[in-house]
Amino acid sequence: MPQTEISRGRFLVVDEVTSPCHRGGAGIRHPIHYVRKHELFRIISMTRNDKLVSTSKFLSLVLRHRPEVIGAKLDPEGWLCIDELISQANAHGKAIRMEVIHEVVATNDKNRFALSEDGLRIRASQGHSVRGVELVFEQKTPPGILYHGTVAAFLESIRASGLQKRSRHHVHLSPDEETATKVGSRRGKPIILQVAAETMHRDGHQFYLSANGVWLVDAVPATYLTFPV
């Protein structure tokens, strides 16, 4: 390893050993492993991102579907005290910290979670299947067309009975094809359905808009759907 590269700061010493055999008797530290700085930063970044993804999935599980896995209970509007979330998670073997929770909330590209105004509580923005939780959404007039991402395995059922909320509180619709494609791709090759939202609304169907931009409706009858050719 050329000394010039070390002195220019292009490498970080990860480990060192001390040799007592040095003229003068003081010992000298010898670097035994080098990592290029950009590689170390990439590793640190990957580890951090993995932590955020893991925490986001855990929060989705607890705040949307199964708070009982950590012995917690959501209030009727889906809120959970953050201190309780942390203590209960830690007690059930899931180490989680306040600063990581705040980072997940702040950086999640879909704004899946929200903090209360006082910053003491957290909830999922939508997508709940927990009984007894009913978020209050303001009714909104939808755009002319909304979108729903799905996969081929569900098309026959959708053609027969439309889009149903099933275990969730609402059917989720996307404002654009790009978002719907991302949603559908979670289960396989995405197929995008168009929803005649303006016509549905005119016919009396109520639409809501969640805090993270997801359009919600009780159901979408098949007559309002356009399937790809």
Question: Tell me: the pLDDT tens digits for 116-169?
Answer: 888 899 999 888 888 888 777 888 999 999 999 999 999 999 999 999 988 777
Tell whether the torsion through CA atoms of 138, 139, 144 and 147 is positive or negative: positive
Nearest to 122 by CA among 96, 143, 146, 144: 96
Which domains are assigned to the chain? Answer: 3-38 (no CATH), 52-124 (1.10.10.970), 146-226 (3.20.170.30)
Question: Tell me: the pLDDT tens digits for 36-57?
Answer: 555 555 544 557 778 888 899 9
pTM summary value: 0.56
- 98 contacts: CB under 8 Å, gap ≥ 6: 82, 86
- Rounded-to-5 percentages of helix, strand, coil across the chain: 35, 25, 40
Say how far residue 85 (Cα) sits from the centre of its chain.
17
* CA separation, residue 37 to residues 12, 43, 44, 169, 210 (Å): 6, 10, 11, 48, 42
Say how far residue 147 (Cα) sits from the centre of its chain.
20
